[in-house]
Amino acid sequence: MKVGFVSLGCSKNLIDTEMGISVFKEKNFEIVNRPEDAEIIIVNTCGFIESAKEEAINTILEMAEYKKKKCKYLIAMGCLVKRYKEDLKKDIPEVDLWISIDEYKEFWEKISTLLEQNVEKDIQFSYRNRIITTGKKMAYLKIAEGCDNFCTYCAIPYIRGRFESRKMEDILEEANSLAKSGYEEIILIAQDTTKYGIDIYGEYKLAKLLKELCKIEKIKWIRFLYAYPESITDELIDVVKNEEKLCKYFDMPIQHFSDAVLKKMNRKTSKKDIISIVKKIRNEMPDAILRTSLIVGFPGETEEDFEILSNCVKELRFDRLGCFMYSREDGTPAAKFDNQIHSMVKKKRYRIIMESQKQIAEEKLKEKIGKTYEVLIEDITSDGTFYIGRSFMDSPDSDGVIYVANPGKDLMNKFVNCKIVAYEEYDLFAEVI
């Protein structure tokens, strides 16, 4: 039978999808990319915030339409299923099987029962066998699951469970396997990468893990995402600064700058601490790229709180910045807080932040003109005019790209030295040198 996957949400969810694909490949099912070709369609859902939940439900309903044609079985898995499985069963009867995150150990057992095949319990849903879907040169590497931070707005600990690091030897084994398969960029992910190791080794071990990964000969670029500012140590900064393979790129989900709001969010940092760590990184690595994410409209956020946030955005001038309007999530403490902010106020504050960042981003892109960067080519425009790539400055899916003028030779999946010649919105344009 032919199987098609639709993966929604974050890169951590994508890894679960890749492990699911590997299970079907191991059983000799054919994996197809178009839902109209699939006899089994599997939707891996996100249930993080309201917009993600809406997207997941709409996607399931869209895929359900294919049951009127070739599709025989529709399966939903992932975060949304974990949160609302019983309600979803009642509301969307078109789905033949719901698999929650905590049921992944029985993934194939449940599917083989649905397909009325002999139930097999020896097929493992594991990192080792996953089928990489992110191209030929870049792969994500999940180093931990769950979260212990319990930010008051976030449902992740209730969906994914407590923070659980993978053993370092298992991560290094997977990284070596990826390198042998030709993957030259490895991106470490977890809900909070900087807490890696604290649960099993009693101390932060991200810096040690990065040093070990840098010893793998065939890996060229390594970056890590979701580094909480309070856990960015001097040791970690030194490792990033001194290891050539580590991209000088820090992704710090700060969320706010007002101490009053940070306290209500149950964040373990302050405005002073955040500013200090940003300045420390820039002093040590002036060319480092700093990315952050913010939340506007958190319950009780006053005009004064927002002004603090807005002013710090202008002062610190992050290279990359994402902003979200607060989403009131079931089961989180913040959902019960007084002084919920009206949606119109949230939208206004969101626009102000993004307008400020657009100007900052434009100024920073302008500074790149005339500079030379190594670019990993991953795609090409439909008309063949430009190759599409990324430099150390760009994390996939969340940052801009670099359009490289086609010099008339094959550059796909190669690292190429390029000179920046122009910019447009959040993207750069370059020529091969």
Contact assessment for residue 185 and residue 391, using Cβ atoms and an 8 Å cutoff: no
CA dihedral over 164, 168, 170, 176, signed as positive or negative: positive
pLDDT average, residue stretch 214-242: 97
Tell me if 207 is assigned to some domain: yes
- 55-69 confidence digits (pLDDT tens): 999 999 999 999 998
- 241-255 confidence digits (pLDDT tens): 999 999 999 999 999
Tell me if 305 is assigned to some domain: yes
The residue with tokens 């599997």 is 42
Claim to verify: residue 190 and residue 244 sit in the same structural domain? yes
CATH number at residue 393: 2.40.50.140
pLDDT average, residue stretch 176-191: 97
Claim to verify: residue 8 and residue 148 sit in the same structural domain? no
Tell me if 126 is assigned to some domain: no
CATH number at residue 15: 3.40.50.12160
Q: What is the pTM of this model?
A: 0.94
Q: What is the per-residue DSSP string for 358-415?
A: HHHHHHHHHHHTT-EEEEEEEEE-TTSSEEEEE-TT--TTTS--EEEE--SS--TT-E
Total of domains in the chain: 3
Tokens of 266: 């149950």
402-405 and 386-390 beta bridge pairing: antiparallel
Intra-chain end-to-end CA distance of the chain, in Å: 48
Claim to verify: residue 230 and residue 258 sit in the same structural domain? yes
Instruction: Give me the domain span that covers residue 65.
Output: 2-114
Claim to verify: residue 205 and residue 59 sit in the same structural domain? no
Considering the chain, what is the average pLDDT of its residues?
A: 95
Claim to verify: residue 380 and residue 358 sit in the same structural domain? no
The H-or-E segment that residue 164 falls in is: strand 164-165
- Residue at a domain's end among 340, 365, 390: 365
Claim to verify: residue 353 and residue 381 sit in the same structural domain? no
Claim to verify: residue 361 and residue 383 sit in the same structural domain? no
Tell me if 71 is assigned to some domain: yes
Cα separation, 59 vs 43, whole angstroms: 8
Tell which residue, 141, 175, 125, has the closest CA to residue 19. 125
Tell me if 32 is assigned to some domain: yes
Tell me if 130 is assigned to some domain: no
Tell me if 197 is assigned to some domain: yes
User: Taking the CB of residue 99, how many other CB atoms lie within 10 A of it?
Assistant: 23
CATH number at residue 352: 3.80.30.20
Taking CA 100 as the corner, what is the angle to CA 97 and CA 7, rounded to the nearest 5 degrees? 80
Task: Give Cβ neighbours of residue 340 (< 8 Å, ≥ 6 apart).
Answer: 299, 328
Claim to verify: residue 318 and residue 383 sit in the same structural domain? no
Q: What is the pLDDT of residue 48?
A: 86
- Residue at a domain's end among 365, 391, 422: 365
Claim to verify: residue 103 and residue 220 sit in the same structural domain? no
pLDDT classification of 129: cutoffs 50, 70, 90: confident
Claim to verify: residue 160 and residue 234 sit in the same structural domain? yes
- 82-91 confidence digits (pLDDT tens): 999 999 999 9
Contact assessment for residue 296 and residue 326, using Cβ atoms and an 8 Å cutoff: yes
